[in-house]
Structure 1
């Protein structure tokens, strides 16, 4: 693992908190993600199932975690099944975990090879009444490929139809929403790597460079700092492309006078950073560009201050929307009288700011968690207002990652340049 070791206490505590939510006689089974094919004999890079990683710290394919706190035999209360290595696998695929390494990495006391899973399973099912299975229940998920979890769940229900099958996802959504100190440490490192990449760009962006060249600079900085790479598809959107919210083609040449919208973040130890910045390609904002930039920044500062315990996403977004209305009126994009008489169900600001201001962040960029849960200390949210003026070919978005604490919100990206003056100064000092 290029990201180094993580304390197994993190995963031990995660498992402890998970099993505390189970009713008596409950068995929970988690599968790793598949190695996904491309074409011919090609495969995509492996990415572990985040729930299995959260509970075990194992970043290896063909792994199964079993949790059965009420098992009669103590060695069956936590079991990690791993693919057994061989000389052939070592030569063709590389190194795999030994039992001792897996035990040290995960804190799981019982490690077995994968081929013993179906031998052990009948004894576990004989004692269990409830079986918790994992599924992707993210509110925005569109799942068209049958996952390893789904295939296993289908087989298990056919083989053991009389058990009471339950959903593990709601428990994990509740737990994963609150980040531990160790998780925050990993997320800080993801943010630090993202900062290094952004500062690299301040000396690179200029008229004539291509968006994909900028993307290459990001990738270089990520990987050289022990990141596996981007936490999501990087958005490098110059000029009018900045008004396309999920622009990822990154194939346009940056022109003098453009504003470049950047939305990217490093992944570190499977945890994500998520940053947005808007740069003048030539190093100097026009008056109009700066006015829009400052308006977005004021909304961002207002919104960040609302990320406190006791608030909730509906009230938060409503307050941010009202703040954005005032900024759009100042920019002559909205009329105050029209705003006063607007349909509350279709606010006018949505023409220029059509997405949400914040989302959970963690192992997933759009991390799991109950949408309407009251804000609590330990949650991490993005804060990312934007203004997109298609008729002017101008889109500006600013985004930092915010940790909710018992006091003021903590900006995990506070060291990344944000003020327009700082951006211009740093770009002007490039070689």
Structure 2
């Protein structure tokens, strides 16, 4: 891993919070992700299962965490099972976690090798009544690949069919959505790295560069600052490409007079940042471009103020829709008849602003969080309104990551990243 070590007290606290909500005489099991094959002997880069990382800090394949707070023996209350390392593995793959190092990372004293898993698992299954299954129930989840977690669930259910089943996910949805101060520091680091990448682009962009040149500049800066790279597939969309919401080809020339919509954020220590900025290829906005840009920025600033404890996500989006409707009327993109005759299920503003304004962000770019429950302090949300005008050849989206505060306005983790149109022009023409 490129990132600096994380204080293990974060993971100790996370486990304590989780186990406090478990049923009596129950265990919870969390598996690492697989290393997924591409073809021949090629594999995708490993990324840890976020829940396992959240509860242990272990960032290594073939790892299992078991929590059994009511275990008769202390050694079974928290257990890590790891792939046994040896000199051969160290030579070919690099050093893996030793039992001592695993304790330093996680704070878990009882570390076993995987070869002992079935024996220990049998013992604790004779002592518990319920097993917490860790399923992915994120509202945007679309999983077609059988995971290591899925295979494990099939295995233990067939071997121990008399045990009751409970779900880890509702507990984790709530816990993960509220960030610890250590997590907020990590996310701030990710945002700071993203800032460095964006500032690098402002000195690089000019007519004739390719979208993939910008992607390469960002990646250079991210990796140079201990990031693994992009937190999600980056969007570098010049001209009308910005009107394709998930444009990721990034293979077109950036032409004079056009705008470039950049949606790209660095990850750091598995935590995401999520930035959107729109900048002029030639270094200067046209009058119309700036007019639309400032309208989007005003909606973003006003929407940010609405992210307060007690707010309901769905109601918040209705209010943002009203802000955007007003902005589009002022820009002449809608008229009063459009609004009066709108379909309540697809309001008139959706013609130019089709997506949502905010989502949870953390270990996942679209992080866990139960959207039907009120917002709470230390939740982190994106704020990302946009206006997309294919007939005028450009789209504008602006996005920051903000922390809900117990008192006062949200804290913008991206507050140092240039966003005012005049400042962007000044930096691009310095």
Asked if these proteins are the same fold (TM beyond 0.5), I'd say: yes
Deviations 1:213-268 (A, max 9, x none): 10000000000000011000010000000001111100000000110000000000
Question: In 2, Cα distance between the equivalents of 1:343 and 1:251?
Answer: 37
Deviations 1:270-323 (A, max 9, x none): 000000000000000001100110010010001000001111111110110001
> How is 1:8-157 mapped onto 2 (pairs within 5 angstroms)?
8-157=8-157
> How is 1:362-377 mapped onto 2 (pairs within 5 angstroms)?
362-377=362-377
Please report how far the alpha carbon of residue 412 of structure 1 lies from its aligned counterpart in structure 2 after TM superposition: 0.5
> How is 1:30-429 mapped onto 2 (pairs within 5 angstroms)?
30-407=30-407, 408-429=409-430
Please report how far the alpha carbon of residue 337 of structure 1 lies from its aligned counterpart in structure 2 after TM superposition: 2.8
DSSP 3-state at the match of 2:43: coil
Question: In 1, Cα distance between the equivalents of 2:127 and 2:296?
Answer: 58
Instruction: Provide the TM-score with structure 2 as the length reference.
Output: 0.99
Deviations 1:367-403 (A, max 9, x none): 0110122011010000000000111121000000000
Question: In 2, Cα distance between the equivalents of 1:115 and 1:245?
Answer: 47
Question: In 2, Cα distance between the equivalents of 1:391 and 1:19?
Answer: 55
Please report how far the alpha carbon of residue 341 of structure 1 lies from its aligned counterpart in structure 2 after TM superposition: 3.2
Q: Find the counterpart in structure 2 of residue 2 from structure 1.
A: 2
Question: In 1, Cα distance between the equivalents of 2:117 and 2:168?
Answer: 20
Please report how far the alpha carbon of residue 338 of structure 1 lies from its aligned counterpart in structure 2 after TM superposition: 2.3
Question: In 2, Cα distance between the equivalents of 1:386 and 1:164?
Answer: 47
Question: In 2, Cα distance between the equivalents of 1:154 and 1:139?
Answer: 23
Please report how far the alpha carbon of residue 35 of structure 1 lies from its aligned counterpart in structure 2 after TM superposition: 0.4
Question: In 2, Cα distance between the equivalents of 1:109 and 1:64?
Answer: 14
Please report how far the alpha carbon of residue 209 of structure 1 lies from its aligned counterpart in structure 2 after TM superposition: 0.2
Question: In 1, Cα distance between the equivalents of 2:224 and 2:343?
Answer: 51
Please report how far the alpha carbon of residue 171 of structure 1 lies from its aligned counterpart in structure 2 after TM superposition: 0.7
Please report how far the alpha carbon of residue 345 of structure 1 lies from its aligned counterpart in structure 2 after TM superposition: 1.9
DSSP 3-state at the match of 1:382: strand
Question: In 2, Cα distance between the equivalents of 1:137 and 1:37?
Answer: 24
- Structure 1, gaps ≥5 residues long: none
Question: In 2, Cα distance between the equivalents of 1:424 and 1:145?
Answer: 46
Deviates more, 1:29-38 or 1:306-315: 306-315
Question: In 2, Cα distance between the equivalents of 1:293 and 1:17?
Answer: 43
Deviations 1:123-142 (A, max 9, x none): 11001101001111111111
Question: In 2, Cα distance between the equivalents of 1:43 and 1:68?
Answer: 34
Please report how far the alpha carbon of residue 163 of structure 1 lies from its aligned counterpart in structure 2 after TM superposition: 0.4
Question: In 2, Cα distance between the equivalents of 1:377 and 1:266?
Answer: 24
DSSP 3-state at the match of 1:391: helix
DSSP 3-state at the match of 2:171: helix
Deviations 1:125-170 (A, max 9, x none): 0011010011111111111100000000011100000100111111
Question: In 2, Cα distance between the equivalents of 1:42 and 1:342?
Answer: 52
Question: In 1, Cα distance between the equivalents of 2:169 and 2:319?
Answer: 31
Deviations 1:9-59 (A, max 9, x none): 000000000000101001000000000000100111000000000000000
Please report how far the alpha carbon of residue 343 of structure 1 lies from its aligned counterpart in structure 2 after TM superposition: 2.4
Deviations 1:326-370 (A, max 9, x none): 110111110123213322222010010000000000000000110
